Structure 1
């Protein structure tokens, strides 16, 4: 199996950023372009996982995939696509964690759209796809435990989106013992609750 270089990781992340967004008509119209981009990746887990999801899209009516997207990402908290939620939940500490994401975007010369949270996996993948591979990879690696939990939750739901998240994970260095331990701890404990007297930081504050 060939390990993707930075250019190939950028391509994989750009494709993932589109696939992890709401499956509207525009996304379905771009499927041939996305499939061509994925076909140019080296054979391995990243390409295989993305091709699997693209095949599912091609065989699934848009309305059905859209309904699944809403039922999965919008209605199931354990399938939350916002990476800092897993470690910080709806607490003020999450606000500080989000600042790291915002600083990474500014460092790379990008500004977020109004009302857009920077820790949505699709947004982080887009950051990489636009050329800031180092910054995006750092953010993903720092939140690896959350990513692992998201994949596990999607697999438990038999969601085809598990393939896209698995493809993203496959572009990162192998998880170390501490990251695996953190994932197990988060899985056992769940996101923390807000401390008494503090206002929660709403996880679904912004749209896609």
Structure 2
């Protein structure tokens, strides 16, 4: 059996996006140390995390929990579920969930009945036990969603935007350049993109087109979704950021 190196940085970011508890508050020194030790997150991003880390240490637990619910549970615009920002309530979301659960299971991660597989803290937890190149690659495929959440949460001054800033900083420049080069080879025609999307299942992980678990197929679908994300989540004219 292959032994994977666990990357504590992904676990740390996952914990910071979890519902605040006494255990989380007590673990902040350990989380801070893990982020500093592995150096996967940029120094600037770590500095931006300091307000949230401080809040989780010293704020009243009830106030922390109330803020968390206000941010993440009362608006779909800040949802911590990846497929909410791609499929919304469409039936495609169900198949995407199935594909993601199967990919987790192939990698040895069992999802409990009360957890949705696209919950971002769970996704980050999964990345913590994958080879670093693979983890960065999968993180890069969600970068457009993370960037949008970073932008929206920054307007709410809750400190959580910095978690997405930190996650995005893990994606190295080389991966971004490769992704841009691949994108340039794809059709610009929206009809062609739609056709590729419709023919492609939402999948994660290694494999081939026959077994329905190819990273390349996932990339086509995720990129096709990018052009709809900002429009579907954009605030209505004259409305508030809710």
Tell me, which stretches of 5 or more residues in structure 2 are unaligned?
Answer: 184-221, 235-242
Q: Say which of 17, 34, 38 aligns to 2:35.
A: 38
Instruction: Kindly tell me the number of residue pairs found equivalent between the two proteins.
Output: 185
Q: Is the 8 A contact 2:72 2:80 kept in 1?
A: yes
Please tell me the root mean square deviation across aligned C-alpha atoms, in Å. 2.8
Match of 1:30, SS state, is helix
Q: What residue number does 2:146 align with?
A: 147
Distance 1:158 1:51, change over 3 A: closer
Q: Is the 8 A contact 1:12 1:46 kept in 2?
A: no
Q: Is the 8 A contact 2:73 2:79 kept in 1?
A: yes
- Larger RCO, structure (CA 8 Å, separation 6 or more): 1
Shift of 1:185: 4.0
**Inter-partner Cα distance in structure 1 for 2:95 and 2:51:** 36
Distance 1:98 1:142, change over 3 A: farther
Tell me, which stretches of 5 or more residues in structure 1 are unaligned?
Answer: 1-5, 192-208
Deviations 1:132-189 (A, max 9, x none): 5455444433332222211111112222110111111111245566689965642123
Q: Is the 8 A contact 1:46 1:170 kept in 2?
A: yes
Q: Tell me the TM-score normalised to structure 2 length.
A: 0.66
Q: Tell me the TM-score normalised to structure 1 length.
A: 0.76
Q: What residue number does 1:72 align with?
A: 71
Aligned counterparts, 1:16-165, within 5 A: 16-42=13-39, 44-131=43-130, 133=132, 136-165=135-164
